[in-house]
């Protein structure tokens, strides 16, 4: 990834969208200090005015879960398979909020109930493999919300959930945000869900930010051809089509690509686009895009 630059203010939600492999989850792992080797972070990562990119392991351990929490995309690999679910949630409260174990276990049950898990007292006593994928997802959401973090990173938080539970989880996140002023980085392929919860949107393609703006401006007037293509793929109940729109082609090999990374898939590209990478430019107040054809 290159030239990733954004900020999230308290009480605001940043939606991050883009197809698989564009770097959405990697931005989240950067904020958590979890970039896998041999990857490394250059530049600056600031949280609450403090530089955190080069923190020690103990400093990261104190920060994660308490001040910055993450809902991971795959709960089966994020949860400890040999620890009961309620105990895992309670452990967060014991480590970061000085709960005694009995109180933490009781609070874990309440948190499981708050994310829509039936019979939460019984479910708190089971292991992750004894839960369905949707239940594991909700348990991980409960764990992330346990300490009421200042920043919540939600990486595809509602992927494995049915529509009713999705709405319940999103409402729970927004209620907590309203009450505590929590900032949220909401990563999703679901543009409709992003539109519902986000104040601002950042569109990524092939490891780069190609457009960012407030939510209303971006959906009302998308500037980058890739963003325009994404929005055209959304079904419109008022204008039914036999086939939904698609963005033809695939993501380029970043080791060989030159110029604009979207050029081979863009209907507007020319020779100039294939020679030089466009900078991210502010075309309208707080509306940035990286394209020569605007």
- Please give the pLDDT value at position 251: 86
Report pLDDT for 126.
Answer: 97
Residue 84 neighbours by CB distance under 10 Å: 18
Whichever domain contains 174, its CATH number is: 3.40.50.300
| Backbone angles phi and psi of 204, in degrees to 5 | -115, 145
**Residue 283 phi, psi (nearest 5):** -85, -30
Same domain, 189 and 280: no
Which residue range is the domain that position 252 belongs to?
216-289
Token pair for 55: 């923190």
Q: Has residue 210 been placed in a domain?
A: no
- Cα–Cα distance between 88 and 158 in angstroms, integer? 20
User: How many domains is the chain built from?
Assistant: 2
Overall average pLDDT of the 261-283 stretch? 94
Mean pLDDT of 180-206: 92
Q: Does residue 6 fall inside a structural domain?
A: no
pLDDT at residue 10, rounded to an integer: 96
Strand order in the sheet with 208-214: 68-71, 151-155, 183-187, 13-17, 200-205, 208-214, 287-289, 281-284
265 part of a folded domain: yes
Burial class (CB in 10 A: 0-12, 13-18, 19+), 42: exposed
Asked if 35 and 41 count as a contact pair (C-beta separation under 8 A), the reply is yes
Q: Kindly give the pairing relationship between strand 183-187 and strand 13-17.
A: parallel
Kindly report, residue by residue over 205-229, the tens digit of the pLDDT: 999 999 999 999 999 999 999 999 9
Whole-model pTM? 0.91
The tally of CA atoms less than 13 A away on the side-chain side of residue 56 is 2
In a domain, 208, yes or no: no
Question: Which residues lie closer than 8 Å to 269 by C-beta, 6 or more apart?
Answer: 260, 262, 263, 293
If pLDDT is split at 50, 70 and 90, which confidence band does 158 have?
Answer: confident
């Amino acid at each position: 990834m290159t030239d990733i630059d954004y900020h999230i203010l308290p009480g605001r939600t940043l939606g991050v969208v883009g197809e698989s492999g564009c770097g959405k989850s990697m931005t989240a792992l950067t904020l958590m200090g979890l970039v896998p080797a041999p990857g490394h972070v250059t530049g600056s990562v600031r949280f609450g005015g403090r530089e955190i990119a080069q923190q020690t392991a103990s400093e990261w351990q104190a920060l994660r879960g308490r001040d910055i929490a993450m809902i991971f995309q795959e709960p089966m690999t994020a949860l400890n398979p040999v620890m009961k679910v309620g105990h895992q949630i309670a452990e967060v409260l014991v480590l970061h909020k000085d709960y005694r174990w009995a109180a933490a276990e009781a609070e874990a049950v309440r948190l499981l109930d708050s994310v829509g898990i039936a019979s939460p007292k019984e479910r708190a006593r089971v292991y992750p493999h004894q839960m369905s994928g949707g239940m594991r997802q909700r348990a991980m959401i409960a764990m992330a919300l346990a300490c009421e973090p200042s920043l919540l990173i939600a990486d595809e938080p509602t992927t494995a959930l049915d529509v009713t539970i999705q709405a319940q989880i999103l409402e729970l996140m927004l209620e907590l945000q309203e009450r505590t002023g929590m900032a949220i980085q909401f990563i999703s392929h679901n543009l409709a869900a992003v539109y519902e919860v986000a104040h601002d949107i950042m569109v990524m393609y092939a490891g780069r930010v190609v457009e960012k703006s407030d939510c209303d401006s971006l959906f009302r007037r998308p500037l980058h051809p890739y963003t325009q293509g994404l929005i055209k793929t959304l079904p419109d109940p008022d204008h039914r089509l036999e086939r939904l729109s698609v963005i033809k082609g695939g993501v380029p090999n970043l080791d060989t690509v030159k110029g604009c990374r979207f050029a081979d898939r863009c209907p507007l590209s020319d020779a100039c686009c294939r020679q030089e990478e466009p900078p991210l430019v502010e075309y309208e107040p707080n509306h940035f895009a990286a394209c020569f054809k605007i």
